Structure 1
Amino acid sequence: MSTSTPLTFGQLAIWRDVESVPRDRWHEPNLAQIWALPAGIGLTAVRDALAALVRRHGSLRTTYDLTDPAAPRQVTHPAQRPDVTVERSADPRLDLDAVREQWARQPFSLVREPPWRAAIVATADTPTHLVLVHHHIVGDGAATAILRRDFVAALAGTLDDAVSGPATISAYEQSPAGRQRAAAALDHWAKLFTEVPPLALGQPPFVEARLASRDLTRAARRVSARLRVSVANVVLAAYCAGLFALTDDHRLAVRVLSANRFDPYRRDVVTSMNQWISTPVDRPSGPDLAELVREVGKRTRVAYAHGVYDVDRMFRLLDEAGHRRAEYDSTWSFNFIPRGPDGPGQAHADAPGPQDETVSWAAPFSSVGPRYYLRVVEGPALTFELRVPVGRSAVAAKLLRRMHQALLDADRSG
């Protein structure tokens, strides 16, 4: 029997970001990954493992009722064995990135079927990889990691069937305790709207500036260890230092992405919980990055505590404060993707390797979400991917170089 419940706040935030995206860009909210399969695994075992994921995670059985634009809902259905395509290739050197890109560019209908798909890549009849693509409303980056963990457990026959799904989170958010928590988050937003200046609007089209550096990985980790804070905190401070270097403002607003998986009942749920939360940051008194590290640490702790909120009500507060949605979307935004555990064959950050510290340019896969958006991926090389309007490309290059210099200077000062 199917059940209908309101969207969670995380799902609603994703839907408000994508609901007006034109049909030719419906693929942009898709997240795609390729997982290597264990040697000797058969097609039936892979299909059985995917069926186990469907039984365990309600988001893989969910469609969306968008009849009422003001109150979209999710509909969770009984588990059915999923259809899985097999991509056969006679060439063991198949370009897996091209396969992933091909599947990622196929859009979903949120209404007709659960918005995810899988394909088994096989050389002849030997499965080698699994391609998994899902719409962002199905799950965020943390959810993808949970799916991978559970897929491995399902292949081993050790996966339980039942966990709580997004409908459980929705029920809490609609409860008195959930509403009280959401109201406190809206108070945070209301205060913020009185504290930050109007923003320069960013307009499409967009371009993505990219910079990768092993030196920055080592520098950020040394500064992190010395100051006893996270690498994400150090890099965010460098981001703010770069922004302050480009403006005379004494206070700026930045948006950080809150994972919102701090409560035990939310931690293992496959859904999209990420929400943007803005915070003011004050200009430091001098060039020492440590002062800015402490400032952003203090500010983001408060912000993350208010990361779960009703985005529709926040937009109403935005209107009442005299701001425009385009101003909110033009806030400089920051998302840090932490490094996972090392796997076989992965290079360590301290291992020698080529440097790539020049700024390169590309068209972004997606233009959904913030108009000024820095995505930082931690790995052997710290990778910066900065999306900005095309007309601001010179600013983007300058900002990345300022960040680069701020991190190296902070490392040397220690």
Structure 2
Amino acid sequence: MTAETTYPMTFGQLAVWRDIERMLPERRWEGNLSFCWSLPPRGVTAADVWRAVGALGMRHASLRTTFDVTDLTDPRQRISVDSPADVIAAVRQPGRDVALSRIETEEIQRPFALNTDLPWRVWLTGSDDAPGKLMVVIHHMAADGAGINVMERDFHALLAGETLPPVPQPAELAMRQRSGEVDSKLLAAEAYWRKTLATAPRRVAPRPGAVLRATMHTGIPEPMLRAAAQGIGATVAAVSLTAYCRALISTGVTSTPVLLYPMSSNRFDPAVTSVVTSMNQWLPVLAELDPDQSFAQAARALYVRNMRALKHGVYDPDTVTRVREDAEREGGPLDPGYHFNLLLPPMTVDPPEEIQESSIEWHTPIRSTGPGFYLMASADTTVRLTVRVIREGYRREELHALLTTMRDDLLELVGSNGDKVR
């Protein structure tokens, strides 16, 4: 294999790969994601759908990529198939009556051999003349949440016969990241990590415990929360992160300052907005909340701090590993921190116009690795807050209190309409 046929991983791909390396071999399937796309109720056949799948794979090189990890210091990517027919042959899975529940449990736990397998598998339900749903399992090396949204948009456009303009590709991005073009940004990111971790709290990491996972369906329409956030000079991400931080303190999970790790999707540059790959990288943000601050004041302050951090969203994960090791050598064990991610997928139906009744849904987790304390906020109609905890000493009661506290803060923010459902 030569340098002409392989390329370095992007920093986003490398970040995911380093996480996978730390997993036990039998848990490496936890890098898999699953989703389901609805198809038009009429006017398309199964053959049309598979043609669009092949075209999608040709459009986004990450869907035709395998990985060479022989050299652990320089893992690389390569394009492995060159035709729509090859894409379809590699990803098409048998079974027209496969249930979504099987995809989300059994199939998501079937690992990819990343050195030989294309990093996605596709099932099509229904008949030749009336296809039902397209169900996909994809590895996180190939796409993150924003990338999956791009895939969905492009798939439906290709299915409709549209001609789409070219998009950036991961290999191009990886070469640019290592070309010297972004050296100053990488050095600034390294300096930001060093400065933040130097002042981060030193707390002994709690031992792993049973996995708890629950979702608070806040009932708050996303447009309503967005308008309320804009009204105080913040964003949905900022107010969600603020509610998380305040709840962690008020319920006794931790104390100020709080070491937060929000996710950067790294798609602020228009040149990479439509790239399909994994671009997610965690960023440290130290939040010092004044107990006398209002929610709005805390949200504005955290919004500014988070935006400053996002300027450093592209970094070399191996460099940051060394920075973390240096910080621990100099000051003791770092607080493991509290992770956060916000996903705003396309709205498939119109959101409600009024606040709905809230509820908590408890999940049976299948994943047992990853961040020890993780809030995933999402909204395709109303806002949902999913917390996953893999730390000893937490029970449903503590998680219930955390989620309820976050919901109450957000309800208060959107105004008196929240009183209708308390």
**Counterpart Cα distance in 2 of 1:407 and 1:45:** 44
Task: Say yes or no: does 1:237 pair with 2:242.
Answer: yes
Contact 1:34 1:132 in 2 (8 A): yes
2:167 matched residue in structure 1: 163
1:302 matched residue in structure 2: 308
Change (3 A) 1:387 1:114: same
**Secondary structure of the corresponding residue to residue 400 of structure 2:** helix
**Secondary structure of the corresponding residue to residue 87 of structure 1:** coil
**Counterpart Cα distance in 1 of 2:416 and 2:195:** 36
**Counterpart Cα distance in 2 of 1:4 and 1:125:** 41
1:362 matched residue in structure 2: 363
Task: Say yes or no: does 1:179 pair with 2:183.
Answer: yes
**Counterpart Cα distance in 2 of 1:362 and 1:334:** 19
2:93 corresponds, among 85, 88, 112, to: 85
Amino acid at match of 2:121: R
What number of residue pairs does the alignment pair up? 404
**Counterpart Cα distance in 2 of 1:329 and 1:4:** 38
Contact 2:34 2:103 in 1 (8 A): no
**Secondary structure of the corresponding residue to residue 26 of structure 1:** helix
Amino acid at match of 2:382: A
Counting aligned pairs with the same residue, the percent is 31
Contact 1:86 1:121 in 2 (8 A): no
- CA drift of 1:220 comes to 3.3
1:63 corresponds, among 36, 42, 66, to: 66
TM-score normalised by the chain length of structure 1:
0.89
1:127 matched residue in structure 2: 131
1:258 corresponds, among 247, 255, 264, to: 264
Task: Say yes or no: does 1:226 pair with 2:231.
Answer: yes
- CA drift of 1:409 comes to 3.4
Change (3 A) 1:99 1:250: closer
**Counterpart Cα distance in 2 of 1:55 and 1:216:** 37
TM-score normalised by the chain length of structure 2:
0.88
- CA drift of 1:55 comes to 1.4
**Secondary structure of the corresponding residue to residue 96 of structure 2:** strand
1:285-364 aligned within 5 A: 285-322=291-328, 330-341=336-347, 343=348, 346-351=349-354, 355-358=357-360, 360-364=361-365
Amino acid at match of 2:12: G
**Secondary structure of the corresponding residue to residue 3 of structure 1:** coil
Change (3 A) 1:306 1:292: same
**Counterpart Cα distance in 1 of 2:329 and 2:221:** 37
Task: Say yes or no: does 1:106 pair with 2:110.
Answer: yes
**Counterpart Cα distance in 2 of 1:67 and 1:146:** 31
- CA drift of 1:78 comes to 4.0
**Counterpart Cα distance in 2 of 1:30 and 1:328:** 29
Change (3 A) 1:267 1:208: same
Change (3 A) 1:248 1:167: closer
1:117 corresponds, among 104, 116, 121, to: 121
1:185-204 aligned within 5 A: 185-202=189-206, 203-204=208-209
2:420 matched residue in structure 1: none
Unaligned segments of structure 2, at least 5 residues: 418-422
Contact 2:141 2:277 in 1 (8 A): yes
Q: Provide the aligned C-alpha RMSD in A.
A: 2.7
**Counterpart Cα distance in 2 of 1:255 and 1:236:** 10
- CA drift of 1:101 comes to 3.8
- CA drift of 1:366 comes to 2.5
Change (3 A) 1:3 1:327: farther
Change (3 A) 1:379 1:287: farther
- CA drift of 1:196 comes to 1.0
**Counterpart Cα distance in 2 of 1:227 and 1:206:** 36
Unaligned segments of structure 1, at least 5 residues: none
**Counterpart Cα distance in 2 of 1:88 and 1:119:** 7
Contact 2:65 2:80 in 1 (8 A): yes
Contact 2:248 2:254 in 1 (8 A): no
Amino acid at match of 2:364: A
